[in-house]
Chains A and B, each alone.
Chain A
Amino acid sequence: MNKVLIVDDSATMRKIITRVLRQAEIPVNAVVEAGNGVEGLAKLQSEPDIDLILSDVNMPEMNGVDFVKAVRTSHDKEKLPMIMVTTEGGEAMMKSALDLGANGYVTKPFTPESIRRALEAYLG
């Protein structure tokens, strides 16, 4: 069973990613949503069985870079797969996220195939 946490300040983008996961036939059984890094950390506390995080980079409250940092310094989440999702123009922040321990990234616009390629190593 795979449970994915989608962190994005756009409810529409969270919906799009959820639909693309389904369209790409990625084996995801449950999706949990959060609107920023702070909410994402709360979801990780309340739902400890999350298997993978897909996170936006440019968000209010706590951006994706700070979110990666917070997750990676958490004693039981240091190995939780984190894939960043960002626009083409967010590459500098994305590089920071990767340096801090994110496992990969997908740039918007994305296809079901590009999402599948980014996630396939982490979801059984």
Chain B
Amino acid sequence: MAESAAPSAAGALPSDAELLGHLERAVDEVFATMIGTCERRARVDGGELIERSNGAELELLLDGGALLRVDREAVVEFRGALDGRVAIRANAACATAIARGLLMSEEEESLALEDVNDALKECANMLTGWLKSKALDPLGAFSMSVPFIKDAPRELVGAPAGTLVYSTRGGEFAIELWRRPPSQNQLVESR
């Protein structure tokens, strides 16, 4: 499991490890500025994350046996010289904590499901925007999708290029970077 990698040559596509490094800095910036502190618990380079379905939730088995339960993900896709996506995966309690931070909401204020999911989407949007600005735009024109929520357990073919796991007061969440393999025209997903 590599923590970092040497920067790629100028003009070359960044490595997965480099992109994940940019994503880490994005998380630091976005959370410190608008949401609140979060602590990085793990960085998983490559597809070492194992998923298993547990009813409405998915369990992510992390290196070392730690377990992370998620029931939704906010996704933003990017397209350009390389295609991929950023996904924030969390359960209800953690997503609510993130939403409270972003909305500056007090504990006694109730948040609708739409508010919580919308906040998670905004978070994914800001993280992907940061990644695009710092790592992708120097390579040429890139576009970002409108953020969207997937709340059903998924079955993905392939594996993320990297995963970051953080903890907040609401629990743990994962941020995944998916990158289209050069041999494929699009991310392969069975819905």
List A residues at the B interface (Cβ < 8 Å): 9-13, 15-16, 19-20, 23, 58, 60, 86-92, 108-111
Contact = CB atoms under 8 A, between A and B. Distances in A.
Interface of B: 29-30, 33-34, 99, 102-104, 114-115, 118-119, 121-122, 125-126, 128-134, 136-137, 141-142, 144, 146
B102 A16 contact: yes
Contact of A89 (B99, B103, B121, B144): B144
B128 A87 contact: yes
B104 A89 contact: no
Contacts of A60: 146
Contacts of A109: 29-30, 33-34, 126
Given A12-B99, A108-B34, 15 more contacts: A10-B121, A11-B118, A12-B103, A12-B118, A15-B103, A15-B115, A58-B146, A87-B125, A89-B133, A91-B133, A91-B137, A109-B30, A110-B33, A110-B34, A111-B34
Contacts of B130: 87-89
Contacts, number: 76
Nearest to B32: A109
Nearest to A86: B129
Contacts of B30: 109
B122 A13 contact: yes
A16 B125 CA distance: 15
Contact of B104 (A10, A19, A86): A19
A9 B29 CA distance: 23
Given A60-B146, A109-B29, A111-B33, A89 B122 contact: no
Contacts of A91: 133, 137
A8 to B, nearest CB: 10
B172 to A, nearest CB: 21
A71 B142 CA distance: 27
